[in-house]
């Protein structure tokens, strides 16, 4: 690995392991009866106990340490006294800031038994993210990432959210480039070894359109259809990629 980005990769790896570890713990309490603010507390404490800081807390005024986005909430749901119930899906999005570097990851959890349709949405969203990650290497175009996600998702009859995107990440939480989850192969800038960014598709059962609630954060599907999301922080190498936020199991 080139000396020039070894440090960036090492530090992002450390932050990513903590963020993923927090989600491994969330998995253990993602059951009917759990309140979303209990998930928030767990994330806050896990990240602190590992010598890191929860980057979402007070980020542009965000009041909590993670985002909990349930059912038709697309992203940026605010943890609250809301109780998770059988059949819900909930995305938990955490970002650890360790030694000046960020690791950002999210997973959608199924609460108890969920509908066949919800299961298909969650699987399709995860598959789309992984398919995109697997093509990452130096010199592919950003549009290749969007294209592979959009093609997979639309073939399953679902839609790709356009109002939110992945992002470059490093010592800054959200930086260039924007990583669109839709697009055309061969378009957009070519990526370079050493780049670090997130891929975090938000996929809806119904229409792709979203709106933001009056709290200024919670984004929901306009048609109230279910929405799922997964996110990894990924580093680009000459011949491939490294995922910094893999689950332990
Ligand atoms: N973690 C989210 C992302 O994937 C950003 C959350 S910002 C917050 O980019 F302020 F809503 F927490
Ligand atoms: Co992100
Ligand atoms: Co995130």
- Non-local (6+) Cβ contacts of 78 within 8 A are 62, 63, 64, 67, 68, 215, 217, 218
Closest ligand 1 atom to 94 CA? 1
- Per residue in 129-163, pLDDT (tens digit) is 999 999 999 999 999 999 999 999 999 999 999 99
- What pLDDT, on the 0 to 100 scale, is given for residue 2? 77
- What pLDDT, on the 0 to 100 scale, is given for residue 45? 98
- Per residue in 179-199, pLDDT (tens digit) is 999 999 999 999 999 999 999
Q: Is the distance from the beta carbon of residue 166 to the nearest atom of ligand 1 less than 6 Å?
A: no
Q: How far from the centroid of its chain's Cα atoms is residue 7's Cα? A: 23
Measured distance CA(177)–CA(145) in Å, rounded: 13
Q: Is the distance from the beta carbon of residue 200 to the nearest atom of ligand 1 less than 6 Å?
A: yes
How far is the centre of ligand 2, averaged over its atoms, from the C-alpha of 104 (Å)?
5
Measured distance CA(96)–CA(57) in Å, rounded: 10
Ligand showing the shortest atom-to-Cα distance for residue 198: 2
* Angle (CA) 150 152 155, round 5°: 100
How far is the centre of ligand 2, averaged over its atoms, from the C-alpha of 199 (Å)?
7
CA nearest 142: which of 184, 105, 176?
184
Closest ligand 1 atom to 95 CA? 1
| Predicted TM-score of the model (pTM) | 0.98
Predicted confidence pLDDT, tens digits, the chain (249 residues): 777 899 999 999 999 999 999 999 999 999 999 999 999 999 999 999 999 999 999 999 999 999 999 999 999 999 999 999 999 999 999 999 999 999 999 999 999 999 999 999 999 999 999 999 999 999 999 999 999 999 999 999 999 999 999 999 999 999 999 999 999 999 999 999 999 999 999 999 999 999 999 999 999 999 999 999 999 999 999 999 999 999 997
Query: Which token pair is 50?
Result: 């590992």
Ligand showing the shortest atom-to-Cα distance for residue 62: 1
- What pLDDT, on the 0 to 100 scale, is given for residue 249? 77
- What pLDDT, on the 0 to 100 scale, is given for residue 154? 98
- Non-local (6+) Cβ contacts of 177 within 8 A are 142, 167, 168, 189, 197
Cβ atoms of residues 207 and 159 within 8 Å: yes
Sheet containing 210-212, strands listed edge to edge, beginning at the edge strand earlier in sequence: 73-75, 219-221, 210-212
């Amino acid at each position: 690995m080139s000396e020039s980005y070894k440090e960036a990769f090492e530090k992002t790896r450390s932050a990513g392991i903590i963020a993923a570890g927090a989600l491994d713990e969330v998995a253990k309490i993602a059951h009917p009866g759990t309140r979303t603010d209990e998930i928030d507390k767990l994330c806050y404490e896990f990240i602190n106990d590992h010598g890191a800081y929860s980057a979402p807390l007070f980020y542009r005024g965000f009041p909590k340490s993670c985002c909990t986005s349930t059912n038709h909430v697309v992203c940026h749901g605010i943890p609250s006294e809301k109780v998770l119930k059988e059949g819900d899906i909930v995305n938990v999005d955490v970002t650890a800031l360790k030694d000046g570097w960020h690791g950002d990851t999210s997973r959608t959890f199924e609460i108890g038994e969920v509908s066949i349709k919800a299961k298909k949405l969650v699987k399709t969203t995860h598959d789309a993210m992984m398919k995109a990650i697997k093509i990452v290497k130096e010199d592919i175009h950003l549009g290749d990432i969007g294209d592979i996600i959009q093609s997979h998702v639309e073939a399953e009859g679902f839609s790709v959210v356009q109002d939110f995107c992945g992002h470059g990440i490093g010592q800054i939480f959200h930086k260039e480039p924007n990583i669109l989850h839709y697009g055309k192969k061969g378009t957009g800038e070519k990526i370079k070894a050493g780049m670090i960014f997130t891929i975090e598709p938000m996929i809806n059962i119904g229409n792709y359109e979203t709106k933001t609630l009056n709290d200024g954060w919670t984004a929901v599907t306009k048609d109230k259809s279910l929405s799922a999301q997964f996110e990894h922080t990924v580093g680009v190498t000459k011949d491939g990629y490294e995922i910094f936020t893999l689950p332990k199991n």
